[in-house]
Amino acid sequence: MENPTIELLQKFIDELGRDLENVEKEIIINKYQTSDVHFRSIKEDHLRSLHDNYRNRITVVRYMLDELRWPKPEISERAVTSDHLL
């Protein structure tokens, strides 16, 4: 059985992915259906900001998942010798 935290984070990524897709659709709709150029520009800036925000969140959560799935082994001080430094 997988770690419940990993499952929860995976569900969170899935939700963020759906939200990201919705923002991408909204960007396209705004581009072709908003006639007021000034309003369209403001809305597009807002949607692009949301898009970047979702992408950044997904990146962070994926990093967290990687850390949980494949923890880095601890390196003891004795294991590091002059040969390792070359």
Digit-by-digit pLDDT tens for the chain (86 residues) are: 468 888 999 999 999 999 999 999 999 998 888 888 888 899 999 999 999 999 999 999 999 888 888 766 666 555 555 555 44
DSSP state of 72: P
Q: Rounded to an integer, what distance in angstroms lies between the CA atom of residue 19 and that of residue 47?
A: 11
In sequence order, the 6+-apart residues with CB closer than 8 A to the CB of 20 are 51, 54, 55, 58
